[in-house]
Chains A and B, each alone.
Chain A
């Protein structure tokens, strides 16, 4: 069964450093998303991506965040200068045309 994969599973970084979180969506899906979940809180939408451009972004997704689909399979989230409050679980998701989003296992980002 096809699935969304994410790497790394856990990333530890120092405040101010850049991180890139990687995702491989399901191959025939068209829409891609990033969500985050701060420990003990609900899952929050960050950004959606379709046809090689951002289709929607939340208030959380400020200038320090960017997304890219560098090739036909990967989808990345870059945080330019990490802050302590960026520590969270980051989930990638993808969907076809029916609105049913499939989530990856997540990357736990710890900023120290």
Chain B
């Protein structure tokens, strides 16, 4: 079985500050890891993914995440927050290969303040 824990259901940062959203996973097999963003009343948009290879992955909108197997973590970061980053962020895990379901975390609501 797989699971995802997102620490902090709400995170607030100032515009221009570092964004750090935490994600820890549990998986008995090598995982694929994903971050999705959901803007109000919209669907889920893929930010970035880790499958194999380089453990630091870059995504859209300046976000990146680092897969740390020893810490079972996949934290999402962005050096400088923008007002438009305000949204809910979901970390998800699946088994390797195509066709496997995603197991989501409970989400982190990011608020960006002036």
Query: How many angstroms from the CA of A14 to the CA of B43 in the assembled complex?
Result: 25
Query: How many angstroms from the CA of A95 to the CA of B98 in the assembled complex?
Result: 7
Q: How far is the CB of B87 from chain A (nearest CB, A)?
A: 14
Nearest 3 interchain pairs by C-beta: A97-B98, A103-B44, A105-B43
Q: Which B residues are CB-close (under 8 A) to A8?
A: none
Q: Which B residues are CB-close (under 8 A) to A84?
A: none
Partner of B101, one of A30, A48, A100, A105: A48
Partner of A99, one of B36, B45, B98, B104: B98
Let me know if A42 and B107 touch, CB within 8 A: yes
- Closest-by-CB residue of B relative to A4 is B43
Let me know if B104 and A43 touch, CB within 8 A: yes
Let me know if B44 and A99 touch, CB within 8 A: no
Q: Which B residues are CB-close (under 8 A) to A31?
A: 98-99
Q: Which B residues are CB-close (under 8 A) to A96?
A: 98
Partner of B51, one of A43, A99, A104: A99
- Closest-by-CB residue of B relative to A57 is B101
Let me know if A42 and B104 touch, CB within 8 A: yes
Let me know if B46 and A100 touch, CB within 8 A: yes
User: 1/0 per position for A56-100, CB-CB distance to B under 8 A?
Assistant: 101000000000000000000000000000000001010111111
User: 1/0 per position for B98-114, CB-CB distance to A under 8 A?
Assistant: 11111111110000000
Q: Which A residues are CB-close (under 8 A) to B44?
A: 43, 91, 93, 103
- Closest-by-CB residue of B relative to A104 is B43
Q: Which A residues are CB-close (under 8 A) to B103?
A: 45
Q: Which A residues are CB-close (under 8 A) to B101?
A: 33, 45, 48, 56, 58
Q: Which A residues are CB-close (under 8 A) to B34?
A: 100-101
Partner of B43, one of A30, A95, A106: A106
